[in-house]
Amino acid sequence: MPVQWAGLSPELLLTVDRDSGDRLCAQLERQLRDAIRTGRLQAGERLPSSRELARVLGLSRGLVQDCYAQLQAEGYLVTRVGSATRVAECAQVPESPAPPPPDPRSRLIADFRHGVPDLTSFPLNDWLWATREAARTMPTSELDYGDPRGSSALREVVAGYLRRVRGAAADPARTVVCSGYAQGLQLALRSLARVGVRVVAYEDPGGPDTATAAAEAAGLTAVPVPVDELGVDVRALDATGARAVIVSPAHQWPTGVVLAPDRRHALIDWAGRRDAYVIEDDYDAEFRYDREPVGTLQGLAADRVISIGTVSKSLAPALRLGWLLCPPALATPLTDLKRIADRGSPTLDQLALARLIESGRYDRHLRHMRTVYATRRTALLAALAQHAPPVRLSGLAAGFHAVAHLPHDTDEQTVVRQSRTRGVALYGMSTCRTSGSPHPPQLVLGFGNVTERAIGEGIAAVADLLCGEG
């Protein structure tokens, strides 16, 4: 379907060469034919009025009308009384590429995709209010490029929020606003490369593709470090020779374990002893259920930890807003890299987020979402207990995903594949392991963006597969 351009007369790039010797009307006809044949102008698309096109090109209106009449006679254009001149539906244009196949998730009973919050619960009215308030009250100077670290208003609010809620040693002067976790990780790794780091470790299981790609882009080598029931293995980390490590200590991705107190202190000791840095992915610590809150690692060693936080899980990934808490030695390199990358994140969105947080509406949203996710967590436990009791869940203390431990002789990849034929999307732990091994067989079940009803129906539909009976 063509774009329906609003306004009195849409602009159209056409040129005429008065020194070419070709008639001006012929030049105009040829360019319009080519634009239609190549698909630059699509069937049903509106052309400028003859009066406006004549004015723009410095031609007589009669010449443009003659051009339109000729192309109408050839079947390229249609004109109706009281309506604009448009490209004819039957005009000869190249076949459009086949439409993309429908998203298979649209036909699913349940999609247990992890890492996605409840998109239907995005506080749209609050966000619109915050955006209007930010636009209404901001000085015109905020429309300039500004500080590459981000709006001072948001940095002040975020620093205060993280000190209050996450126990962070947050300083607005060393806070850099970024476009989500992906950019935050890139900035962190590139800044580490500038100070001589050559090898960065990452948790295994974790996000091997993300860590490896980000490290390679920064000119670093990425190496895996195992995770057990206490979190990242610091002794194994020490043996790698790495001078940086990416960890998710509050709720390890994807196992869900919490970094044990002894390990937290051992990790800080390792960083000091090796002149190393820890990149803390503080991705979903706002959502906890039956455990005491866990503070940030950055609060224990602000000079050794780069903490990355975003609103991708708390609000929506589409906002592309996050922040880095920078060690003093890396604050300037990180700011310089942010300036080079994009000169700063969109200011109006930053000011809207600042208003949302300081107004208390952000906290209210988080309280609501804790209730929503807790209800879905209970629904998942109940569905498995009813339909697939041999399956054990772990990693449920926080966040909105869990790990399902399948019977030891189950083929994880077969379960994932066959579940799709039943309208249920499941995701194996093997994709989170550096080796890609499907052993032990486990699933990472996201319940953030799936309703309680869908959880129950989805688990019931694949229960025999989960129990190794399919």
- Residue 188: predicted pLDDT: 98
Instruction: Outline where 249-295 has alpha helix (H).
Output: 261-274
pLDDT one-digit tens code per residue, 205-249? 999 999 999 999 999 999 999 999 999 999 999 999 999 999 999
- Residue 470: predicted pLDDT: 67
For the CA atoms of 187, 190, 195, 200, what is the dihedral angle to 10 degrees?
100
- Residue 420: predicted pLDDT: 97
- Residue 289: predicted pLDDT: 77
Phi, psi of 48 (to 5 degrees): -65, 155
Of the ranges 175-184, 197-206, 282-291, 320-329, which one carries the lowest mean pLDDT score? 282-291
The CA-atom distances, in angstroms, between 454 and each of 333, 419, 429 are 47, 14, 22
Q: Look at residue 2 and tell me whether its pLDDT is greater than 70.
A: no
CATH no. for residue 373? 3.90.1150.10
Shared domain check, 167 and 296: yes
Q: Look at residue 135 and tell me whether its pLDDT is greater than 80.
A: yes
Confidence of residue 103 (pLDDT cuts 50, 70, 90): low
- Residue 166: predicted pLDDT: 94
- Residue 397: predicted pLDDT: 87
Q: Look at residue 287 and tell me whether its pLDDT is greater than 60.
A: yes
Question: Domain range for residue 142?
Answer: 123-359
289 versus 52: the higher-pLDDT residue is 52
Q: Find the mean pLDDT for residues 46-56.
A: 92
The CA-atom distances, in angstroms, between 299 and each of 294, 305, 398 are 11, 9, 20
- Residue 7: predicted pLDDT: 61
Phi, psi of 383 (to 5 degrees): -65, -40
- Residue 149: predicted pLDDT: 98
Shared domain check, 77 and 14: yes
- Residue 322: predicted pLDDT: 98
Query: Which residues, at least 6 apart from 123, have a Cβ–Cβ distance to it below 8 Å?
Result: 315, 356, 361, 365
Residue ranges of E strands in 183-237: 199-204, 221-228, 231-232
Shared domain check, 173 and 277: yes
Q: Find the mean pLDDT for residues 358-382.
A: 97
Q: Find the mean pLDDT for residues 379-407.
A: 96
- Residue 398: predicted pLDDT: 87
- Residue 88: predicted pLDDT: 93
- Reading the block at residue 299, the tokens are 């609060």
- Residue 95: predicted pLDDT: 57
- Residue 183: predicted pLDDT: 98
CATH no. for residue 184? 3.40.640.10
- Residue 100: predicted pLDDT: 65
Indicate the angle between helix axes 328-342 and 180-194, nearest 10 degrees. Answer: 120
Query: How much is the pTM?
Result: 0.89
User: In whole numbers, what is the pLDDT of the chain averaged over residues?
Assistant: 93
Return the closest-CA partner of residue 137 out of 352, 346, 345: 352
**Spatial distance between the Cα atoms of 266 and 253, rounded to a whole number of angstroms:** 20
Shared domain check, 251 and 338: yes
Confidence of residue 8 (pLDDT cuts 50, 70, 90): low
- Residue 307: predicted pLDDT: 98
Shared domain check, 275 and 380: no
Are 452 and 379 contacting, i.e. CB atoms less than 8 angstroms apart?
A: yes
Q: Find the mean pLDDT for residues 266-282.
A: 97
Burial of 225 (0-12, 13-18, 19+ CB in 10 A): buried
Shared domain check, 224 and 209: yes
Shared domain check, 447 and 317: no
Shared domain check, 351 and 325: yes
Q: Look at residue 105 and tell me whether its pLDDT is greater than 70.
A: no
pLDDT one-digit tens code per residue, 71-101? 999 999 998 777 789 999 876 555 556 666 6
Structural domains of the chain, count: 3
Shared domain check, 390 and 335: no
pLDDT one-digit tens code per residue, 422-453? 999 999 999 999 999 999 999 999 999 999 99
Q: Look at residue 174 and tell me whether its pLDDT is greater than 70.
A: yes
Shared domain check, 159 and 232: yes
Shared domain check, 138 and 54: no
